Amino acid sequence: MAFSSSVSSSRMIHSPAALAYQSKLNNNQNNKKIFHCRSFSPLPFISRLSYVSRRRKGESLNKHIMASVTDISVDKLTEEAQIPKGQMWSVHKFGGTCVGTSQRIKNVGEIIVNDDTERKLIVVSAMSKVTDMMYDLIYKAQLRNDSYLSALDAVFEKHQLTAHDLLDGDELAGFLSRLHHDISNLKAMLRAIYIAGHATESFTDFVVGHGELWSAQMLAAVVRKNGIDCKWMDTREVLIVNPTSSNQVDPDFSESEKRLEKWFSQSPSNTIIATGFIASTPDNIPTTLKRDGSDFSAAIMGALLRAHQVTIWTDVDGVYSADPRKVSEAVILRTLSYQEAWEMSYFGANVLHPRTIIPVMRYDIPIVIRNIFNLSAPGTMICRPPVDENEDEQIIDSPVKGFATIDNLALVNVEGTGMAGVPGTANAIFGAVKDVGANVIMISQVFFNKHRCLVTDYGEVKAVAEALESRFREALNAGRLSQVAIVPNCSILAAVGQKMASTPGVSATLFNALAKANINIRAIAQGCSEYNITVVLKREDCIRALRAVHSRFYLSRTTIAMGIIGPGLIGATLLDQLRDQAAVLKEDFNIDLRVMGITGSRTMVLSDTGIDLSTWRELLKEKGEVADVEKFTQLVHGNHFIPNTVLVDCTADSNVASCYHDWLRRGIHVITPNKKANSGPLDQYLKLRPLQRKSYTHYFYEATVGAGLPIISTLRGLLETGDHILRIEGIFSGTLSYLFNSFVGTRSFSEVVTEAKEAGYTEPDPRDDLSGTDVARKVIILARESGLKLELSDLPVQSLVPEPLKACASAEEFMKQLPQFDKELAKQRQEAEDAGEVLRYVGVVDAINKEGRVELRRYKRDHPFAQLSGSDNIIAFTTKRYKEQPLIVRGPGAGAQVTAGGIFSDILRLASYLGAPS
């Protein structure tokens, strides 16, 4: 093997294979010392593998792997040349995506050149996918798979082509020479691994670190090509770390600072390109900084230099308030405190690894996350919040900064009264978990130790449960412990925010948002610092829960997914009203109403993001699919980014009404003018009403009685404030109101009905209005709302359809024969007029006698019912409080516009209940 590194005469060089071959020194064309390692045979290399393996077991080592080129001490160099530190330094880190191609490396070079900081250190990762390619080389070699050779050729080809695109002249020749040298060394090393069938961790770290070496060298050459003096740093010569586990290392800041001083004394420069990810142990053995190592490298270098800022360049605009793949409304956070970033990263948010924050926190160095592909985006700054933060902003800002989730978890419950007050129980539990090498993500414990639950990775839960059962076998057999139970398919949702600690009601708001989205919580944990609240949920509920709490806390916007059933006259009018008002609601009231589906009896149209209501008729006609209520419900409720769902039934269909119970049970809100559910069989009604309380859903049906008039809400207001209903009496039909308001003078009843039918005030078959069934249903609804348990069949209804005409085959035949029966109503009208009265068709709820009826009645001309005009409705509430003078509600009670308006009002009431500002 031959390994070369451009260094000055006094720099220490480290090679993992140094014991396998003899070293020598040569001068290069710049009189810099270059250390070469001869090619070696497999046997010495295998010996080296064995040596490193023994070192990992703790055997003593009498001398360093490498001797320094000269015998100049670190302390002497530190005295001779102190590296300047402080605000003049900025540190940048560019990840693999940022340097994934030659063009992107050029872009990085431009950013470095344009940075006007006096001094800058740039930490660079390997080119995109290269680290994975290097690990694959080790993997294939250990399996004795000859394809490692072609894989190594692919690595060489990738960097050779990139170098040709970027460099020329001596820079190109120099880099290609080193690249050839390194590839030759790697080939010999991989051959030895191939023969041994095993690679130690040290050799693996050495191999995979080459990607950073090559990208740093190329980037440094690109910067020099732009006329800037620039040196590249192999950070294995500077960063010293102590491995603490297979997945973590601790930086030795004191030793690293000394080595940085030494490095800078020999290679002073205002612009340094440093390798990320790689470092060395105190014994000068190459290692890596493990997961997110390049970010960690940048943070350590920033701390060593006391830089004014560390910028992490990536491919996103910053840190989001939630995962944007799960919450489409997630926004970029302008600032995060160290603690907030720390908490979010622990709970799976794509921020930074928690250890990355530790070095910069010591010196209050801010970290900025920026997008290299969108330089105009300011990014997210992670820093210590100022002490004198504006109090007004504290009040306005949400106390929760962001949300994060972890999936594929399981809950392990350890239950039993035998744990109560027994010292050492927790130690035994955690000892058993430690023995199987599992990671506990969250712990929850009830009062006095009777119940503990642990959250761990689903792949580890079986081993954890078996270990606990084994440890507590005696207690289980004796009954002191009742069970060790596994709850699979769990997820964690964490709410994070530094201001949570000083804001009352955060937990209540969080749990309320989850309850309103019909989400059940399995376990809860909150630390005394109050920086996060963590809940365990069913995995299938996790995304919906995330959207619900994000919408409630962060966006200050109530977003509701809507499904409109029945795009007939009323449904179409409602859709047009939503179209005209949606923008105003969103802009001025923070209510985002999205129609995800529209279905008729035959066709439906669906959308994952929301239907364009300006073209809904065309979409339903041209792109409609066969109507399927279950598929419609599933998409509107389940396959989108919105936690709250409402289905609006604008039909008069009893089959649709029969679905309400299932919808409410599934957490879907229901709004309707359809009277069939509330006036249907009493037992179904009695099951429907309490269900919304159990499932935290809302069932609004104001338009079932008074169209746009507040009849139901007025009645509920009276009852909820302690009033007692004595009697409800009213003209509930706009059609029948119009008929009897117009049935005056010498006009015949059939003439008035014909006029109303031609004007569109009646149903296509006027018998549907004249039968009184519609009024009867409204009376039943009000009676039941008042507490009476009446069936529709209990109501005596006076039909205005002459008995002989009930069997007419068509509406046309009915209208043709109706004039034959004008005399009877004309006689009743005349008798009423002679008595100074008028005829009105009314419905009555008699709460005292617990009955109701629908009939044609006479009223004095000064009575409020006698003073209506057009199709107005009027309802009088006689109560204990309003006994002498009834409470009257009057106004238009029919027509598509007012009925749709009543439904719209219920939608806005739902939005208010779900958190929209009033």
* DSSP assignment string, 838-870: EEEEEEEEETTTTEEEEEEEEEETTSGGGG--T
Mean pLDDT for the stretch of residues 418-440 = 77
Of residues 587, 380, 906, the one with CA closest to residue 914: 906
Given this model, what pLDDT does residue 45 score?
Answer: 33
Percent of the chain topping pLDDT 70 = 86
Please name the residues in contact with 300: beta carbons below 8 A apart, sequence gap of 6 or more: 239, 251, 253, 256, 359
Between CA 124 and CA 274 the distance in angstroms is 6
Given this model, what pLDDT does residue 450 score?
Answer: 65
pLDDT digits (tens, 9 = 90+) for 549-567: 887 776 545 788 999 999 9
At 510, list the tokens.
């969080």
The answer to whether the beta carbons of residues 200 and 192 sit under 8 Å apart is: no
Mean pLDDT for the stretch of residues 350-356 = 79
Q: Delimit the CATH 3.40.1160.10 region(s) of the chain.
A: 89-314
Cα→Cα distances 297→252, 275, 277, 512, Å? 12, 8, 6, 42
Given this model, what pLDDT does residue 480 score?
Answer: 77
Class of domain 711-894: alpha beta
Mean pLDDT for the stretch of residues 26-39 = 33
Please state the separation of Cα 909 from the chain's center in Å: 25
**Phi, psi values for residue 492, rounded to 5°:** -110, 135
User: Between 426 and 595, where is the model more confident?
Assistant: 595
Q: Report strand pairing: 725-731 vs 625-626.
A: unpaired
Between CA 588 and CA 117 the distance in angstroms is 44
Is the predicted pLDDT of residue 55 greater than 50, yes or no? Answer: no
At 636, list the tokens.
């509107």
Mean pLDDT for the stretch of residues 108-135 = 95
Mean pLDDT for the stretch of residues 501-509 = 82
Give the confidence band of 43 by pLDDT, cuts at 50, 70, 90. very low
Whether 623 is catalytic is: no
Between CA 873 and CA 884 the distance in angstroms is 22
Please state the separation of Cα 173 from the chain's center in Å: 50
Given this model, what pLDDT does residue 25 score?
Answer: 27
Q: Name the least confident of 202-211, 378-387, 884-893.
A: 378-387
**474 burial level (CB within 10 Å; 0-12, 13-18, 19+):** exposed
pLDDT digits (tens, 9 = 90+) for 171-196: 999 999 999 999 999 999 999 999 99
Give the confidence band of 918 by pLDDT, cuts at 50, 70, 90. very low
Mean pLDDT for the stretch of residues 212-238 = 96
Q: What is the identity of the amino acid at 332?
A: I
The answer to whether the beta carbons of residues 120 and 90 sit under 8 Å apart is: yes
Is the predicted pLDDT of residue 18 greater than 50, yes or no? Answer: no
Strands (E), 395-545: 402-415, 440-445, 451-457, 483-496, 521-526, 532-538
The answer to whether the beta carbons of residues 465 and 412 sit under 8 Å apart is: yes
Please state the separation of Cα 735 from the chain's center in Å: 49
At 172, list the tokens.
């190109």
Please state the separation of Cα 318 from the chain's center in Å: 16
Q: What is the CATH number of domain 400-554?
A: 3.30.2130.10
**Phi, psi values for residue 550, rounded to 5°:** -65, -45
Q: Delimit the CATH 3.40.50.720 region(s) of the chain.
A: 558-706+906-914
User: Between 81 and 32, where is the model more confident?
Assistant: 81
Strands (E), 530-665: 532-538, 558-565, 591-599, 603-606, 625-626, 644-649
H-type alpha helices, 272-399: 293-305, 338-346, 354-361, 391-396
Q: What is the CATH number of domain 558-706+906-914?
A: 3.40.50.720
What residues does 875 pair with on adjacent strands?
A: 730, 889
Give the confidence band of 72 by pLDDT, cuts at 50, 70, 90. very low
Between CA 44 and CA 684 the distance in angstroms is 85
Mean pLDDT for the stretch of residues 322-339 = 88
Q: Delimit the CATH 3.30.360.10 region(s) of the chain.
A: 711-894
Percent of the chain topping pLDDT 90 = 62
Dihedral sign for Cα 730, 733, 734, 739, please: negative
Given this model, what pLDDT does residue 28 score?
Answer: 33
At 542, list the tokens.
């996790």
Given this model, what pLDDT does residue 396 score?
Answer: 42
Mean pLDDT for the stretch of residues 856-862 = 94
Please name the residues in contact with 799: beta carbons below 8 A apart, sequence gap of 6 or more: 770, 771, 772, 806
Between CA 549 and CA 521 the distance in angstroms is 13
Between CA 672 and CA 651 the distance in angstroms is 8
Residues in the chain: 918
Given this model, what pLDDT does residue 24 score?
Answer: 30
Between CA 519 and CA 494 the distance in angstroms is 15
Given this model, what pLDDT does residue 85 score?
Answer: 93
- How far the first Cα of the chain sits from its last, in Å, is 75
Helix (H, G, I), strand (E, B) or coil at 339: helix
Dihedral sign for Cα 114, 116, 120, 123, please: negative
Please name the residues in contact with 205: beta carbons below 8 A apart, sequence gap of 6 or more: 278, 286, 287, 288
Q: In what order do the strands lie in the sheet with 335-337?
A: 231-233, 271-275, 119-124, 89-94, 309-314, 367-371, 380-383, 335-337
- Residue 31 CB neighbours (<10 A): 8
Run of H or E including 725: strand 725-731
Give the confidence band of 52 by pLDDT, cuts at 50, 70, 90. very low
Average pLDDT, the chain: 85
Give the confidence band of 81 by pLDDT, cuts at 50, 70, 90. low
DSSP state of 744: -
**Biggest CA-to-CA distance, the chain:** 130
pLDDT digits (tens, 9 = 90+) for 739-790: 999 999 889 999 999 999 988 788 889 999 999 999 999 999 999 999 999 9
pLDDT digits (tens, 9 = 90+) for 438-492: 888 888 876 555 678 889 998 888 898 888 888 888 888 887 788 888 899 999 9
Between CA 535 and CA 213 the distance in angstroms is 43
Run of H or E including 212: helix 210-225
User: Between 443 and 615, where is the model more confident?
Assistant: 615
The answer to whether the beta carbons of residues 125 and 278 sit under 8 Å apart is: no
Is the predicted pLDDT of residue 268 greater than 80, yes or no? Answer: yes
**Phi, psi values for residue 324, rounded to 5°:** -65, -20
The label of the residue with tokens 């191939």 reads 194
**465 burial level (CB within 10 Å; 0-12, 13-18, 19+):** buried
Give the confidence band of 251 by pLDDT, cuts at 50, 70, 90. very high
Dihedral sign for Cα 801, 804, 806, 811, please: negative
The answer to whether the beta carbons of residues 153 and 178 sit under 8 Å apart is: no
Q: Which of 631, 778, 827, 883 is catalytic?
A: 778
Q: What is the CATH number of domain 89-314?
A: 3.40.1160.10
Mean pLDDT for the stretch of residues 213-240 = 96
At 573, list the tokens.
């009018």
Between CA 49 and CA 349 the distance in angstroms is 38
